[in-house]
Chains A and B, each alone.
Chain A
Amino acid sequence: MATVTESKKRTVRINGCVASAQAAKYADVDVITAYPIRPYTATMMALAQMVANGELDAEYIVADSEHSQLSIAHGAASSGARVFTGSSGVGVQFAYELYSPISGSRMPVQMMIADRTLDPPGDFGSEHTDALSTRDMGWLMGWACDAQEAFDNHLMAYRIGEDPRVLLPQMVCQDGFFVSHITSDVELPDPGQVNEFLPPYKHPYPLDPRHPVSHGPQIMPEQGPPLQLERARAMEDSMAVIEEVHDEFANIFGRRYDPWVEEFMTDGADVVFFMQGGHAVTARFAIQHMRDRGVKVGLVRLRTIRPYPTDRVQEVLSKFKVVGVIETNMGLGSVSSGGVLYAEACAALYESQQRPLVVSFMAGMGGEAIVLKEFYWMTEKMTEAQKRGKIEKRTHWVGFEE
């Protein structure tokens, strides 16, 4: 902890990648492992410079692949070190093998994701499919919509994931470019505040020659289910911890986030957007504009997708007539034949007494911005559905339809 030299809270203008790097520095990580892929690379570049400058005492390992990155992170966390790694796009998927072993061995590895479209062809733009494809692997997961939130999410994720009641890895996601590469003001805390908030990492059974244990022995088929059940329990038990930690964060740092969903101008709203990540910032402008024109539209932004706050989503979305899910991800041949968020939102609403109409929008794909005009168009589609009492079709490809 003594390695952080800043002594005071201060505000800096940095992008999301650097904010993540700063968060890793404040968390005094021991092992960082990097492999270049845009756009998350900027985080690792910033960390490399910090280590070179002596601002952060950590082992900085340039891995030979994302698979190795995650394996290094797994090994280091198993030994008792706090680990930071990250990736984007196909890099996230190259490491796919490791997601389950890491959460299965209950190692609270932290991974920063700056989203990127999957190939083909090579596309630098943001799309949430990369991280979402790993959503069921036992990692805590959520999206930030700006640099400050990204910084805060990293600190909270360490605190949640390392909690002995949880011990799960975390994927702290932000949209590539829209968050990762756009600068904004970020308040960096006083190191003392971080010390108060985030105790040193201590796994109960690390690889320590003084207390030898074996990690990950082979099991009998009948031993699989109890281990899975325990992992599922940890995921569910984390919900209470997540709420606790958000409260404590607010008390220490003065910024209060709803751990599950952010509601924006939902008072009296008939139709709402349901979405994750950085496009919410544009959505807020569009909604304000439409509210000025009397359209009863609001925004529900999902902050944590794993664990999925089913009850909360049901409770919130049931207040409205129409819900428009903005996917920013691809679920080819999925329930809605669009993205993957629709199915989960619908499932959450299924048991509701007042089910809203739900429609899915394929927008923000391939890294394209969702412009105000498109939010207006989508609002129109929702209002029409409200009037009609039924949706025209489950999924709209925004920008490709009249």
Chain B
Amino acid sequence: MSAIEVQRQLLPILDSPNQGARFYNPELPSSEPFVPGHRTCAGCGPSIQYRMTSKAAGDNTILIGPTGCMYVANSSYLCTPYNVPWAHTQIGSAGSFTAGVAAAYEAMIRKGKWKGAYPNIICEAGDGSASDIGLASISGALYRNHDCLIICYDNEQYANTGIQASSRTPYGGMTTFSPPGPMVPEAKKLYPKDLARMMAAGHPHCYVATASVGYPIDLMNKVRKGLNHKGAAYLMVYTPCQKGFVYETPRSIDLGRLVVECGLYPIWEWDPEKRQYDYSFRPQNMRPVSEYLKLQGRFGHLHTQHIANLQKFANEQWQMMGVELPEALLQAADAKNLVNMAAAEEAVTVAETV
């Protein structure tokens, strides 16, 4: 057997824009693997993520879309916004279908049946797929170390089916499967599954990272690092859903920053070489969780105790990252120091009309 060596791509890492004083994005590639003409909601967070990810990946890319918003809304009625090959797969098949594509290209290139550099193979799984039904298939793909990148675009719910709770829905998050009521005032009682950390712990040979649409260059660089990593990579990206979170559409990116600044979405990388977490990412500010919660109708029903619980959760996240907590945040974890959320009633009204 004379096997042909598989050539891999190496994508350059972009300069971070906020080094020093200036704000100015680095030079971005001109190719548009993701083009307009799709039915995602205005201001859609996952769509923003899709745009950034595909931009970072470039044209020699294959996208895999398990069932979810980015399947249903993006490819409605035989339309497609994907300028690179894209395939739908079943919601539970995120990792496995991707593995099949990766294996096919390994074999076809090695056997001379396809000529060219190994493509970027990216799976875009929603958090329902990634944390629930497709968890095993993704774990399998990571474990077997196919050269691919699996992204969980985490909008913290099953949004496409009409906003149902997933394992990633935060404590206190209202969904149609976790509505608030007299018996369950906080709506969702469970805390979210720590999915990315689970992936890092269980598949330490993989590049694993978390990111947010609030930090586009960081996100794009993590996509590129994941693709450059020879083997499997996993990226969990915070992507707000204006329909499910109930916020004003212009705030999509802003929420992506706030969720990090308030500690509810720690941003980190798992380095498979050193086998350790890199917690060096720091947002510009640290804020109490209430600043993030108050922008969203899905938290409109929360009582002070619930907000304090979330602050406690956020504080734990900060501490895990080795960040020293300012007194104000410690105070905010005590319900005595909090007031009820402003405009909570209005927010509920908005949420119920969804």
Interface set of A (CB-CB < 8 Å, partner B): 2-3, 30-31, 33, 54, 57-59, 61-65, 67-69, 71-81, 83, 97-98, 101, 200, 206-220, 223
**Docked CA distance A212–B62 (Å):** 9
- Complex CA–CA separation, A3 to B61 (angstroms): 29
Cβ-defined contact, A71 with B137, below 8 A = yes
Q: Which residues of B contact A218 (CB under 8 A)?
A: 71-72, 75-78, 88
Which residues of B65-95 are within 8 A (CB) of A?
71-72, 75-80, 82-90, 92-93, 95
Asked if B101 and A75 sit within 8 Å, CB to CB, the answer is: yes
Of B59, B95, B101, most A-chain CB atoms within 10 Å: B101
Identify which of B10-18, B105-113, B191-199, B239-247 touches chain A: B105-113
Residue total for B at the interface (Cβ-Cβ under 8 A): 53
Q: Which of B3, B72, B82, B102 contacts A212 (CB 8 A)?
A: B82
In B1-42, which residues have CB < 8 Å from any A CB? 1-3
Sampled A-B contacts (24; CB under 8 Å): A33-B100, A57-B1, A59-B106, A61-B103, A61-B144, A63-B96, A63-B99, A63-B140, A64-B137, A67-B96, A68-B99, A68-B137, A68-B140, A71-B99, A74-B89, A75-B102, A76-B100, A83-B100, A97-B92, A207-B86, A209-B119, A212-B83, A218-B71, A218-B72
Asked if B64 CB lies within 8 Å of chain A CBs, one says yes
Tell whether B322 is near chain A: CB-to-CB under 8 Å: no
Contact partner, B86, options A31, A59, A215, A220, Cβ 8 Å:
A215
Which residues in B have their C-beta under 8 angstroms from that of A101? Answer: 89-90
0/1 string, B43-74, CB within 8 A of A gives 1? 00000000000000001111010000001100
Contacts of A62 in B (CB 8 A): 144
* Contact assessment for B107 and A81 in the assembled complex, using a CB-CB cutoff below 8 Å: yes
Alpha-carbon separation in the docked complex, A241 to B313 (Å) = 64
Question: Chain B's nearest CB lies how many Å from the CB of A198?
Answer: 15
Q: Say yes or no: B137 contacts A67, CB within 8 Å.
A: yes
Q: B137 contacts which chain A residues (CB < 8 A)? A: 64-65, 67-68, 71
Residues of B within 8 A of A220 (CB): 77-78
Interface digits, B265-282 against A, CB 8 Å rule (1 contact, 0 not)? 000000000000000000
Question: When chains A and B are docked, how far (Å) is the Cα of A67 from the Cα of B93?
Answer: 7
CB atoms of A217 and B97 under 8 A apart: no
**A217 engages B93 (CB within 8 Å):** no
Complex Cα distance A237/B49, Å? 44
CB distance from A97 to the nearest CB of B (A): 6
How many inter-chain residue pairs (CB < 8 Å) link A and B?
A: 183
Q: Closest Cβ of chain A: how far from B89's Cβ, in Å? A: 6
B169 within 8 A of A: no
| 9 new A-B contacts at CB < 8 Å, known A3-B1, A72-B99, A218-B88 | A30-B111, A68-B95, A75-B96, A75-B104, A83-B100, A83-B104, A214-B85, A216-B89, A217-B77
Q: How far is the CA of A376 from the CA of B137 in the complex (A)?
A: 50
Closest residue to B59 on the A side, CB-wise? A209
A75 and B87 in contact (CB under 8 A), knowing A33-B100, A217-B78? yes
A61–B100 Cα distance when bound, in Å, is 9
Nearest chain A CB to B311's CB is how many angstroms away? 38
Closest Cβ of chain A to B64, distance in Å, is 7
B199 CB, nearest partner CB in chain A, Å: 14
A294 to B275, CA, bound (A): 79
Say whether B155 faces chain A, with CB atoms less than 8 Å apart. no
Given the known inter-chain contacts A62-B144, A71-B137, please indicate yes or no for A207 contacting B62, CB distance below 8 A.
yes
Residue of A nearest to B80 (CB): A214
Once A57-B107, A79-B100, A79-B108 are accepted as A-B contacts, the answer to whether A97 and B90 lie under 8 Å apart by CB is yes
| A59 vs chain B, min Cβ distance (A) | 4
A75 to B1, CA, bound (A): 25
Residues B103 and A207 in contact, CB atoms below 8 Å apart? no
Query: Once the chains are docked, how many angstroms separate the CA of A73 from the CA of B96?
Result: 9
CA distance A72 to B119 in the complex (A): 17
- On whether the beta carbons of A210 and B104 are closer than 8 Å, the reply is no
Q: Which of A2, A76, A79, A81 is within 8 Å of B62, CB to CB? A: A79
Q: How far is the CA of A81 from the CA of B103 in the complex (A)?
A: 9
CA A218 to CA B69, docked complex, whole Å: 11
Are A216 and B87 touching (Cβ within 8 A)?
yes
A97 to B89, CA, bound (A): 11
Contacts of B98 in A (CB 8 A): 75
Measured CB to CB, the closest approach of chain A to B298, in angstroms, equals 26
Measured between alpha carbons, how far is A81 from B79 in the docked complex, in Å?
A: 26
Known: A59-B106, A217-B76. A75 touches B97 (CB 8 A): yes
Most chain B CB within 10 A, of A58, A75, A78, A97, is at: A75
Is B296 positioned at the interface, with any CB of A under 8 Å from its CB? no
Whether A31 contacts B100 by the Cβ 8 Å rule is yes
**Given A57-B107, A101-B90, A217-B76 in contact, is the A68-B62 Cβ separation under 8 Å?**
no
Chain B residue at smallest Cβ distance from A219: B78
List CB contacts (< 8 Å) of B98-148 with chain A. Answer: 98-108, 110-111, 113-114, 116, 119, 136-137, 139-140, 143-144
Residues of B within 8 Å of A59, CB to CB, are 103-104, 106-107
Q: Are B103 and A31 in contact (CB under 8 A)?
A: yes
What chain B residues lie within 8 Å of A80 (beta carbons)?
Answer: 104, 108, 113-114
Do B100 and A78 touch across chains, with their CB atoms under 8 A apart?
yes
A62 to B2 alpha-carbon distance, docked (Å): 24
Residues B79 and A72 in contact, CB atoms below 8 Å apart = no
A209 and B85: CB pair below 8 A? yes
For the complex of A and B, the 8 pairs showing the least CB-CB separation, nearest first, are A75-B100, A217-B75, A64-B140, A71-B93, A216-B88, A81-B104, A71-B96, A68-B96
Task: With A71-B137, A215-B86, A216-B88 as known contacts, state yes or no: A223 contacts B77, CB within 8 Å.
Answer: yes
**Residues of B close to A213: CB separation below 8 A:** 85
Please state if A98 and B90 are interface contacts (CB–CB under 8 Å): yes
Nearest CB of A to B17, in Å: 29
**Which residue on chain A has the smallest CB distance to residue B115?**
A210
User: In whole Å, how far is B169's beta carbon from the nearest beta carbon of chain A?
Assistant: 24
Cα–Cα distance between A71 and B87 once the two chains are bound (Å):
12
